[in-house]
């Protein structure tokens, strides 16, 4: 049995782009809070709901049968109003009116900047990292990444079948905003011919054309080029392949399909552990913290200190990809 806390009521919201596993995190926050005798309210549409007071009480039943569902039952939004002084004051007023002694904010770095601003007005806030991009610098892992990577791999495996039959080249654009974590992982997992990520400058000749040439010389007649959306446009890369190599490539932009679907075991478990940790922090009177993964460990950091950290693409994973695609 969890220790009873002096905190009596908290809110939970999801903000920014959704990610598979957010529902599992919401469920964990609700169940972990109830176990400590803390009431929970759900806040709809992120900070916009905190401003407008769009909230509802949550109990154990309201989070039944959601651990396996993608998306977020709380809906999500990006609120411009929350960035204004007036919007912030309204959000703070909602917390006071409803007696919310803490907020768990699930989302990406924009969500955490908002959470930290709210904390400066005296509202206790803890963030949980949820984004398919895995681009939050203070944590090794963000909820949704594993599911999105698996979804992209499944899609590209299917593409591979038809590329093989027709002896074609596929150029596939993978999400990730300004980061290449998703594209690199997916590229390694599908055995791509070439992978382009924003963190490493590329030249078409050596990082695309030469890779295709080498693959062809080794006997291959179908090619998969994985392009991170932050590195280049798959349409442009496809066009260059057509013009400079005389191939007839097919371009696929995976897009938002990567954000949906049932979360993997990893995302369900990480979300559940992170939700538990967020509630523990609020129950112990902590604020302005972000829950992070450090290897297999769940830790927490000051939000602004966390956001000022640096994170780089794993050089070993990049090297492995380079060798696998023919140096
Ligand atoms: O941050 C998650 C993400 O899916 C990025 O990979 C992508 O660039 C962006 O969100 C798309 O945003 P939107 O849902 O607003 O189109």
Q: Taking a C-beta distance cutoff of 8 angstroms, is the pair 105, 281 a contact? A: no
Residue from 287, 273, 286 nearest 32 by CA: 273
Q: How remote is the CA of residue 131 from the centroid of ligand 1, in Å? A: 9
Task: Determine whether 81 is exposed, middle or buried from the number of CB atoms within 10 Å of its CB (0-12, 13-18, 19+).
Answer: middle
pLDDT of residue 5: 76
236's CB contacts (< 8 A; 6+ apart) are: none
Q: Which of 175, 233, 253 to mutate to test the pocket of ligand 1 (most atoms within 8 A of CB)?
A: 175
Give the domain ranges of the chain: 9-144+263-308, 146-260
Query: Which SS3 state, helix, strand or coil, does residue 218 take?
Result: coil
Integer Cα distance of 58 and 13 in angstroms: 12
Does position 159 have pLDDT exceeding 70, yes or no?
yes
pLDDT tens column, 233-284: 999 999 999 999 999 999 999 999 999 999 999 999 999 999 999 999 999 9
Task: Sheet with 297-302: list strands edge to edge.
Answer: 55-58, 39-43, 9-14, 102-107, 125-129, 289-294, 297-302
pLDDT tens column, 19-75: 999 999 999 999 999 999 999 999 999 999 999 999 999 999 999 999 999 999 999
**φ/ψ of residue 205, rounded to 5:** -60, -50
Q: Which CATH superfamily, name and number, covers 146-260?
A: Phosphofructokinase domain (3.40.50.460)
Q: What average pLDDT does range 299-304 have in this prediction?
A: 97
Q: How remote is the CA of residue 173 from the centroid of ligand 1, in Å? A: 13
pLDDT tens column, 119-141: 999 999 999 999 999 999 999 99
Please give the number of the atom of ligand 1 that sits closest to the Cα of 258. Answer: 4
Q: How remote is the CA of residue 17 from the centroid of ligand 1, in Å? A: 6
Computed over every residue of the chain, the mean pLDDT equals: 96
Beta-sheet pairing, 125-129 with 297-302: unpaired
Beta-sheet pairing, 289-294 with 297-302: antiparallel
94's CB contacts (< 8 A; 6+ apart) are: 50, 51, 52, 53, 55, 100
Work out the widest C-alpha separation in the chain, in whole angstroms.
70
Q: What average pLDDT does range 287-302 have in this prediction?
A: 97
Does position 147 have pLDDT exceeding 80, yes or no?
yes
Give percent of the chain above pLDDT 70: 99
Please give the number of the atom of ligand 1 that sits closest to the Cα of 18. Answer: 2
Give percent of the chain above pLDDT 90: 97
Ligand 1 atom 14 nearest Cα: 17
Ligand 1 contacts (CB < 6 A) are 17, 108, 131-133, 175-177, 229, 259
pLDDT of residue 4: 73
Q: What average pLDDT does range 151-174 have in this prediction?
A: 98
Catalytic residue numbers, as ranges: 133
pTM across the whole model = 0.97
pLDDT of residue 326: 87
Q: How remote is the CA of residue 278 from the centroid of ligand 1, in Å? A: 25
Which CATH number does 9-144+263-308 carry? Answer: 3.40.50.450
**φ/ψ of residue 194, rounded to 5:** -155, 150
Total residue count of the chain as it appears in this document: 327
Check for a shared fold between 9-144+263-308 and 146-260: yes
Please give the number of the atom of ligand 1 that sits closest to the Cα of 230. Answer: 8
Helices 265-283 and 145-166 meet at what angle, rounded to 10?
Answer: 160
Q: Taking a C-beta distance cutoff of 8 angstroms, is the pair 303, 115 a contact? A: yes
pLDDT of residue 1: 63
């Amino acid at each position: 049995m969890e220790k009873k806390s002096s905190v009596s009521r908290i809110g939970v919201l999801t903000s920014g782009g959704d990610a598979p596993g957010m529902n599992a995190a919401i469920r964990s926050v609700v169940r972990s809070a109830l176990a400590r005798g803390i009431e929970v309210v759900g806040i709809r549409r992120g900070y916009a709901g905190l401003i407008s007071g769009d909230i509802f009480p949550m109990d154990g039943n309201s989070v039944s049968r959601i651990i396996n569902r993608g998306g977020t039952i709380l809906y999500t939004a990006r609120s411009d109003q929350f960035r204004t002084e007036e919007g912030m004051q309204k959000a703070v007023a909602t917390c006071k009116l409803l007696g919310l002694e803490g907020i768990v904010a699930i989302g990406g770095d924009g969500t955490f900047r908002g959470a930290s601003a709210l904390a400066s007005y005296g509202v206790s806030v803890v963030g949980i990292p949820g984004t398919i991009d895995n681009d939050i610098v203070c944590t090794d892992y963000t909820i949704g990444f594993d599911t999105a990577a698996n979804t992209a791999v499944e899609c590209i495996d299917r593409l591979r079948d038809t590329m093989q039959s027709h002896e074609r080249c596929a150029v596939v654009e993978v999400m990730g905003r300004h980061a290449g974590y998703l594209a690199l992982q997916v590229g390694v997992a599908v055995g791509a011919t070439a992978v382009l990520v924003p963190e490493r400058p590329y030249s078409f000749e050596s990082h695309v054309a030469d890779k295709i040439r080498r693959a062809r010389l080794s006997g291959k007649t179908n090619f998969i080029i994985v392009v991170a959306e932050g590195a280049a446009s798959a349409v442009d890369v496809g066009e260059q392949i057509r013009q400079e190599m005389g191939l007839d490539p097919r371009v696929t932009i995976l897009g938002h399909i990567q954000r949906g679907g049932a979360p993997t075991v990893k995302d369900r478990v990480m979300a559940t552990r992170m939700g538990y940790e967020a509630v523990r922090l609020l129950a112990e009177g902590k604020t302005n913290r972000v829950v992070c993964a450090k290897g297999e460990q769940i830790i927490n950091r000051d939000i602004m200190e966390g956001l000022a950290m640096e994170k780089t693409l794993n050089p070993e994973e990049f090297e492995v990809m380079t060798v696998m695609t023919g140096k």
